Structure 1
Amino acid sequence: MRIRVLKFGGTSVDTHEHRLMAARKVIQCIESGARPVVVVSAIGRRGAPYATDTLVELLTAIDPTIPPAPRERDLMMACGEIISTVIMAQTLRTLGYAAVALTGNQAGIITDNEFGNARILEIHPETILRCLERGWIPVVAGFQGITRPDEVFTDGSITTLGRGGSDTTAAALGAALRAEAVEIYTDVNGVKTADPDFVPDAPTLPEVTYEEVAEIAHQGARVLHPRAAEIAMDYGIPLWVKCTFTDEEGTRVVADANGQRRITGVMHTGKLSYLSFYIPYPEHKAQLELEVYRLMARLGVNLQGIGVDEEGFGFAFPREHWHAVRNTLDGLIIPLGTPSWFYLFQFGEAPSQVCQIQRDMLHKAGLGERIRTVPITIAEGCTMVSLIAHGYSHQPGIFAELHRTLAEVGIPIWQTADSELSLSCIIPESEVEKAVRVLHDRFALDAVAR
Structure 2
Amino acid sequence: MSFRARTTAVLAAVTALALGGAFAAVLVAFNGLQQRQLDASLLAVARTEAVEVHQHALRFSDRPGPAANDIGPLTKFGIIYEDSGTVIAATYPFERTPPHLADIRHPNAQPFNFLFEREHMRGVFMPIPQHANTFLFLATSREDFEGDKEYLFRAMLAAVVVAVGWASLIAYWMSGRLTRDHRNIAAVARGVARGDLTARTDVSSPDPEIVQLGSDMNDMVERLAELVSSQQRFIAHAAHELRSPLTALYGELQQALRKERDAAAYRQAIQQALEATRRLKLLANDLLTLARTKQDAGESPEAITLERMVEDARKLVADLATSREVALDIRLPKATVSHRHGDVTRLFRNLLENAIMHSPSGGVVRVESEHHGSMLHTWIIDQGPGIDEEDQERIFEPFFRAPNAAKTRDGSGLGLGIAREIARGYGGDVQLDTSSRAPGARFLVVLPAS
Q: Per the shorter chain, which TM-score range?
A: under 0.3
- Larger helix share, 1 or 2: 2
Question: TM-score, normalized by length of structure 2?
Answer: 0.17
Q: TM-score, normalised by structure 1?
A: 0.17
Higher relative contact order (CA 8 A, sep 6+): 1
